[in-house]
Structure 1
Amino acid sequence: MRADLGDLNAFLAVVRAGGFRGAARASGMGASSLSEAVRRLETQLGVRLLHRTTRSVAPTEAGARLIERLAPALGEVKAALDVVNGFRDRPAGTLRLNVPVVAARLVLPAILPDFMAAYPDIRLEIIVEESFVDVLASGCDAGIRYEERLEQDMIAVPIGPRVQRYATAAAPAYLDRHGRPEHPRDLLGHACLLGRFPSGAMTSPWEFERAGEVVRVEPQGPLVVSVGAGVDLAVDTAIAGVGIIALFEDWLRPHFDNGALEPVLQDWWQPFSGPFLYYSGRRLVPPPLRAFLDFIKAGGASA
């Protein structure tokens, strides 16, 4: 049984976008053309691939099973076609990266402008989310994550700052009212602003280290935000004097510099390894990704 490659790509685009309109915006195709492509594919295969309602589109069981095998296969087709770019004077094509919010905020801004100037024929698509995803199944060429969240079969390349710290901070007015913690355990008596990952896990316990002593505390507080999209709300709430926040030092640095936030327990801030660009070693490396790898290895990641 033969299925048109364009129809398969249309089906995958609709599933990734969660609907025909979103897929149309992302792909540049018309929603009606996408709908017709999916209907044609369903007719050829003899099974329904999508549940359609007026509000949403979701894969059927058959559709989900097809996606599991289809996404990596189409990724291989794309990579194979991209090899032709190796014969061009300059690499061209699309580079899709899956990154967490912290990388989009603290790592990529120092790298992308120079990279895009050096490779004007490469189009970047940055998908920002906190969930750890299979980059191939999601249609991405590579991702950025921290060491503890990397899968063993991935190739990892350092990108961005090699050492970072988690900082704790509060507005001076809050600390004037409630006192300045002198030990991490003092946080148990303070209002702390917490986060929750998409998996449901909390950002606590908070971990501190000084002179070889490691202390973990489970703070409580009046606000829990989604890690990623809700972090700026937590920062603004901390600046307003509601409680103590724990976040990347570089994220809070501008607020330290202007006095809106004051460091808390600074001599206890624990350093950790910086992020990595990761990609699969099981597939051909497309030229746009190869260009990006060469760029960060040559020093673009140290900006």
Structure 2
Amino acid sequence: MAKGNLTGTSEFLLLGLSEVPEHQLLLFISFLSMYLVAVLGNLLIVLAISSTPQLHMPMYFFIASLSCVDVCFTSVTMPKMLLNIHSHSPAIPFAGCLAQMYFLILFLELDNVLLAVMAYDRFVAICHPLHYATVMSPKFCATSLLVALVVTNVYPLTHIVLIARMSFCASVRIRHMFCELYALLQLSCSDIRSNELTVYTLGSLLFVTPFLFISFSYTRIFAAILRLPSSQSRLKAFSTCSSHLAVVSLFYGTLFGVYLRPSSSYTVGDSVATVLYAVVAPMLNPFIYSLRNKAMKEAVRGLLSRRQPSSW
């Protein structure tokens, strides 16, 4: 391919984690299993919450919203990756690659914002319990989700516009399982300083700000918990936010390691890190929320028991 704008060709090649033929079956089985667990687990959480009136509360509304986003998040990348492995054809159309990158960033941002709103929910519940019903009203919950959906479109759209105007070098081989932003930028022959400036300004605003908000919320939460009179009351208060803390740690543990540095330093090892937040984290989230939350565990158990055929 001659140097020029990629819109004149038609496709990229997604090389995945390994090009060794002997590894393909193992990769296919592993990622298919993780994808099915992620989708079924998150859908089970949504069904359990929607079918249990006792869980029709702000905290569980946001957990269900996060599960819906995680289903979309994994579905943006996994089906295409599995199809490529199965068909031994790594090609993805240029337009499809941009669309995949757009939705990947969008749902990643939504995860980020929802985790921040959930931290605020725990902050109000623990630090201002008498005002909880007023502050976390159904109108506030719906408005928060709507605003998140609108705001999170800005960042991926900006990158789509910038990348659509870029030129790419001879290689169209993306050393990744999906069209990740940094992996695409490494193929460009254009000046990518505007893209990196967008990452460090708009990206930092939309990703780092929620993280700082979460950190501030939990600083206040821990201070309030430590002021409680007994160890039993402190343990009970902490248990209401332990699941959220585990999900936050899992999400940000890999996210910042990949994106808070120049795209030129992006390596194949970082593609493994993106798998952790794009596949593994959505798969584990339902287990974290259902195993560490008694009400959720009972709702899931009740839903499963209702789905079992009656014995004669």
Whether TM exceeds 0.5 here: the answer is no
More relative contact order in 1 or in 2 (CA 8 Å, sep 6+)?
2
TM range (shorter): under 0.3
Could you say which structure has the larger radius of gyration?
1
TM-score scaled to structure 2, two decimals? Answer: 0.23
Kindly indicate which of the two structures has a greater share of residues assigned to strand. Answer: 1
Greater fraction of residues in helix: 2
